[in-house]
Structure 1
Amino acid sequence: MIERIETGIAPSSAPINDAVRAGKHLWLVAIAEDPVTGEIVEGGVEAQARRCIENLQIALKAAGGTLANLAMVQIFLIDSADAPGMNAVYREFFTQQPFPVRATVVVKELLAKGLRIEITATAVLD
């Protein structure tokens, strides 16, 4: 059975969820959307990466987990030149082993205007 995790981030009017759980597994997606204003954050990839990871933390907390529960992270960037800035922010949040498996992919564009990064992740909860 798949359970929707209410995070307060994804717009309720859209047919999407930012987190769902099936048993011990949690699937998440995060964009650089301010959960209070609903606006895409400005300030370049560093600010957007930080907001994405903070949104992951919000979703994980709503499901009873933390970043330490992440098994896999997939990062989508619109410009490979953004990788160093994204990596710097990523290192701020992921400081202890075991790190999640990670894939980073450069794509032509992301759907929401102004997005430079989007993150999907899989977690295993106790």
Structure 2
Amino acid sequence: MIERIETGIAPSSAPINDAVRAGKHVWLVAIAEDPETGDIVDGGIEVQTRRCIENLEIAVKAAGGTLANLVMVQIFLVDSTDAPGMNAVYREFFTAQPFPVRATVVVKELLAKGLRIEMTATAVLD
């Protein structure tokens, strides 16, 4: 059975969820969106990466976990030159082993205007 996790981040008008659970597994998605306004945050890749990870943190917390429960993170960047800035912020949040498995992909564009990064993650909760 799939359970929707209410995080307060995903727009209610869109046919999407930003977190769902099936058993012990939780699937999450985050963009650099201010959860209070729904707007894409202004700033470079560092600002957008921080907001993405903070949104992942909000979502996994709503499911009953923490970032330490993440086992896989997928990152989508629109510009490969953003990788160093993204990595610097990523290291601030993921500081101890075991780190989540991670894949980083460069894409032509993301759906929201001004969006430089999007993340998906999988968490395992007890």
- TM-score, structure 1 normalization: 0.99
What residue is the counterpart of 2:24 in the other structure? 24
Residue 4 of structure 1 aligns with which residue? 4
Paired position in structure 1 for 2:109: 109
Aligned-pair distance for 1:16? 0.2
What SS does the corresponding residue of 2:28 show, helix, strand or coil? strand
How many Å separate the matches in 2 of 1:68 and 1:11?
26
- Which residue in the other structure is 1:14 paired with? 14
Structure 2 matches for 1:50-89, cutoff 5 A? 50-89=50-89
- Is residue 95 from structure 1 mapped to residue 98 from structure 2 by the alignment? no
Provide the identity percentage: 89
Corresponding position of 2:33: 33
Gaps of 5+ in 2: none
Residue 43 (1) aligns with residue 40 (2): no
Give the AA of the match of 1:37: T
User: For residues 72 and 50 of structure 1, what CA distance do their matches in structure 2 show?
Assistant: 17
- What is the letter of the counterpart of residue 20 of structure 2? V
**How much does 1:35 deviate?**
0.2
The aligned length equals 126
For 2:34, the aligned partner's letter is D
TM-aligned CA deviation for residue 55 of structure 1: 0.2
Task: Report SS of the residue matched to 2:118.
Answer: strand
Aligned counterparts of 1:57 and 1:72: Cα–Cα separation in 2: 14
- Please, which runs of 5 or more residues in structure 1 have no aligned partner? none
Q: Which runs of 4+ in 1 moved over 2 A?
A: none
Rounded Cα–Cα distance in structure 2 between residues aligned with 1:13 and 1:39: 14
1:118 to 2:118 alignment: yes
